Amino acid sequence: MGQRVLVVDDDRTVSDVVCRYLEHAGYEVDHVGDGLAALDAVRERRPHLVVLDLMLPGLDGLQVCRRLRQGSDGVPIIMLTARGDEADRVLGLQLGADDYLGKPFSPRELVLRVGSVLRRAREPAPPEAELFVDAGLEVATGPRVARLHGRELSLTLREFDLLAHLMRHPARAFRRTELLERVWGWTFGDESTVTVHVRRLREKIEDDPAEPRRIVTVWGVGYRYQPADA
């Protein structure tokens, strides 16, 4: 059985094209046209990934994303938006979306993004699972669990991978484009994706996110993980 993708979009023309391209790429595709139906479909059909339009009748895409993440549902989400305001896309990432595309978009690019997100989601742990420990923060790559002072953190797929990558290379500065390639597997994309995920991580692991001591900004470059004992 192939991987299942749920397409949530009330525009029948767009959804027909998206479903056709995904099916041609080998995915099993389900489609619903509103937010409440999307929540039901995720619960009942357990898709491997959700392609979620921002503008939906009933519950909009942001509300659907928020409810999925509040329910600790780790299903990867790619958000589609026709709005011109970048703040909506950034908010989607803040709520836990793994990626987004602005309408109009290339269906081929969407298929590539779906493949990239799913590859990251199913990547096996390294032959020797890693454990990173620093000042009460523990990240175990085998079970993909992160704890802060013994309390398990609720991290999205990308947040976990980003944190593990930075801790794997302590005190090394990475450009945003490098992080997009190494963590997201993209050789293209909006660098604000990295900025938003760093902001979300700081909210979860820093004592004071406004004055971060773990994930620090390297001005003119990007970010680095600063160990407490460095």
Beta partners for residue 151, in sequence order: 148
Task: Determine if residue 178 is left, alpha or beta; phi over 0 gives left, psi from -120 to 50 gives alpha, anything else beta.
Answer: alpha
Give the SS3 label for residue 102. Answer: strand
3-state SS class at 57: coil
- Residue 123 CB-density burial (10 A; 0-12 exposed, 13-18 middle, 19+ buried): exposed
The pLDDT value recorded for residue 137 is 96
Read off the pLDDT of each residue in 44-66 and give the average, rounded to a whole number: 92
Alpha-helix residue ranges (DSSP H) falling in 8-99: 12-24, 35-45, 61-70, 86-94
Residue 150: the pLDDT is 95
State the DSSP string of 116-149.
HHHHHHHPPPPSS--EEEETTEEEETTTTEEEET
**Which pLDDT does position 125 carry in this prediction?**
54
Provide the token pair at 162: 């980003």
pLDDT digits (tens, 9 = 90+) for 137-163: 999 998 889 999 999 998 887 889 999
Q: What is the pLDDT of residues 187-198, one digit of tens each?
A: 666 788 899 899
How confident is the model over 78-117, as pLDDT tens digits? Answer: 989 876 566 766 777 777 788 888 888 889 989 988 998 8
Two structure tokens written together for 163: 């944190």
Confirm if 7 and 29 have CB atoms less than 8 A apart: yes
pLDDT digits 0-9 by tens, 191-225 = 888 998 999 899 999 999 999 999 999 999 999 99
Q: 174 phi and psi, to 5 degrees?
A: -120, 135
pLDDT band at 177 (very low <50, low <70, confident <90, very high): very high
Identify the burial level of 43 via C-beta atoms within 10 angstroms of its C-beta, where 0-12 means exposed, 13-18 middle and 19 or more buried. exposed
What percentage of the chain has pLDDT greater than the value 70? 91
Q: For residue 100, what are its two tokens?
A: 């987004």
- With contact defined as beta carbons under 8 Å apart, do 224 and 166 qualify? yes
pLDDT in tens, 26-38: 999 999 999 999 9
